[in-house]
A and B are shown apart, each in its own frame.
Chain A
């Protein structure tokens, strides 16, 4: 990031903090670490737990919003991200990647009121019953995000579009927190997306073993030993686990898999009769 805008004026730098419950707090630990010349917040176990509390508090309201409304909010994210194109470029993200990230939000925005029709439906049971299956969000998802902006968007968007809320451990702090600023100005309710910056190996185990986290997305975990350890810890409360996706090309069509992996199918029966 350029440290001065004009020679005659000293630039006002940005402080990169966490994004939790719609606010930008420092790490409760008071720790920071140096990334590309910036002191960014080094999230702690307590920050992770606070973020889970925020995500849980936001989840029923977000899932209870209409699919149309969630789609509008996601489209608004795309608008806000587009407007910050220059800032992301200044953080070293290629223009084409910012474009792809914007387009991905738009793509998922459109899915909000369609995925239930694709993933659910009526079941022709052999009896006088109305029987219908519909997907519902799994709940609170812990996400260990890939390093790129497009990767980050590609794991957060499919989780939240259906009504999940997320706690994201991001490994590209400046871009991730700047994305948090995009979210904070896009009518995304506080707590729907929470972004922690820091070391995945330090924070992720607390999300993996947390009783109030329903699913764990390990997309961004490169270390196979850590991934196995996290998957094992997640078994304690039988969390849904998305395994690491090393080698995934995020520029390709993601399909519906990233959404359906974080959905539960609920089937409702009712008798028919006069």
Chain B
């Protein structure tokens, strides 16, 4: 029963002007490539535009441009580099509505997230690292920290422009130059960022954007003239990169997968916890490496909590990413939808109980209803493997010690959540969780000043904060 009839509130897409095709951004210029590929809107499967598929010789040109630019960029006074970054931050703020709509079109994420989370954080990241550029000797990383050279950066499709900001802002602030490869399914915001660099009069070659698929990324990270490799993506690809970098002396940071435990104790405020659980797993369609994909709930309140969670899930609106009411947008690609579907079927086959609220999904595009599995054991694949979709596995525990044991029973260690009103329990549990980010009575909070990154097989190195500088300095 609802008080009001639902009325769509679509954001206009007319603010974005997408060209029919895009080339590679190398040495300050957009140039053609031999091959191209199409990028689609996952919400309706319509082609948005064609982009260049960078070949090895294109990557060579981009690395060479970055190498040439490194000499003068690294020699520039930090205060001058800072001003370029401040300029970029300002332009990003001015164009944030356009970029938010673009991000939602190419990625499928709800406009309220791209508008209220992604874009503000993107600009904030450039502001934050801009300020570091002339203060590096105060960062506690030695009296004379030096840039590494050319950074090869490969980013994922879940937060395309935000991941670009996490990579490019600290790299430039520290005096490195970059060649960045955006994800195959979400190349557009990086290409628009290239235009932002031009508007800021950033010297040619300091930022180069090469679009392409896995092979392009592999060629970039294996390029002998790259000094630093930064990758965000799956643990499997992270392993391959670590292997390929072995023996080369390249500095490497990896931000990989996760299977975070979101732990709810019996004294937690239930309504707040439910909001945190929903945010933890359904934010960005669950395409979040730090998603709270394993709910560990104390047995004595499990029933009450699940009733409340299901009631809340029934109010989630799945659909048009550009509708300002939408809570859950489109799954980013058919391949990802297939993976979520497959793992969910395995969850049911292995004996867990599946539940989704009634919700009508659009006819075209890639969609997956918010889903929870109860009766999940630690042996189930849906409790062990990263699903990277709006699918929550629910497990129970009786004691805090059991909660910690279960939470840590994973090769991952990116994030975790704790819900309890007892301060001493928060601190004791936070101490024992093997995870790089612990959210207590909150979840999925990000800030440029706050270091982010994993323990164990969730990767190494930190992005954000003072710690994020270390990845780009010798």
Q: Indicate if A94 sits at the interface (CB-CB under 8 A).
A: no
Q: Indicate if A96 sits at the interface (CB-CB under 8 A).
A: no
Q: Which residues of A contact B447 (CB under 8 A)?
A: 123, 125-127, 131
Q: Which residues of A contact B460 (CB under 8 A)?
A: 238, 240
Shortest CB-to-CB span from B24 to chain A, Å, is 30
Also in contact, A238 and B450, with CB within 8 A (given A243-B249, A270-B426, A270-B441): no
Q: Which residues of A contact B452 (CB under 8 A)?
A: 267
A-binding segment of B157-165, B189-197, B240-248: B240-248
Q: Indicate if B456 sits at the interface (CB-CB under 8 A).
A: yes
Interchain CB contact under 8 A, A118 and B436: no
Q: Which residues of A contact B455 (CB under 8 A)?
A: 138, 264, 266
A137-178 contacts to B (CB < 8 Å): 138
Also in contact, A237 and B457, with CB within 8 A (given A118-B140, A267-B437): yes
Q: Which residues of B contact A265 (CB under 8 A)?
A: 436, 451, 453, 462, 467
- Among A131, A235, A240, chain B packs the most CB atoms within 10 A around the CB of A235
From A124, A235, A268, contact of B440 by CB (8 A): A268
Q: List the B residue with the shortest CB-CB distance to A133.
A: B451
Q: Which residues of B contact A126 (CB under 8 A)?
A: 124, 447, 449
B412-451 contacts to A (CB < 8 Å): 426, 430, 433, 435-442, 445, 447, 449-451
Shortest CB-to-CB span from B278 to chain A, Å, is 16
Interchain CB contact under 8 A, B467 and A232: no
- Report the interface size for chain B: residues with CB under 8 A from the other chain: 42
Q: Which residues of B contact A237 (CB under 8 A)?
A: 411, 456-457
Q: Which residues of A contact B435 (CB under 8 A)?
A: 266
Shortest CB-to-CB span from A215 to chain B, Å, is 9
Q: Indicate if B238 sits at the interface (CB-CB under 8 A).
A: yes
Q: Indicate if B459 sits at the interface (CB-CB under 8 A).
A: yes
- Report the interface size for chain A: residues with CB under 8 A from the other chain: 37
Q: Indicate if A69 sits at the interface (CB-CB under 8 A).
A: no
Shortest CB-to-CB span from A256 to chain B, Å, is 8
Interchain CB contact under 8 A, A131 and B450: yes
Interchain CB contact under 8 A, A238 and B459: yes
CA distance A213 to B247 in the complex (A): 20
A242-269 contacts to B (CB < 8 Å): 243, 255-256, 260, 264-269
> Can you list 26 A-B contacts with CB-CB less than 8 angstroms, sorted by A residue number?
A118-B140, A123-B447, A124-B449, A125-B445, A131-B449, A227-B247, A228-B247, A232-B243, A234-B246, A236-B239, A238-B456, A238-B459, A238-B460, A241-B246, A256-B140, A265-B462, A266-B436, A266-B437, A266-B438, A267-B437, A267-B451, A267-B452, A268-B430, A269-B437, A269-B440, A269-B445
- Smallest CB-CB A-B distances: 10 pairs: A228-B247, A235-B242, A231-B246, A125-B447, A232-B246, A235-B243, A123-B449, A270-B440, A268-B438, A123-B450
Residues of A within 8 A of B (CB): 118-119, 121, 123-127, 129, 131, 133, 138, 214, 224, 227-228, 231-232, 234-238, 240-241, 243, 255-256, 260, 264-271
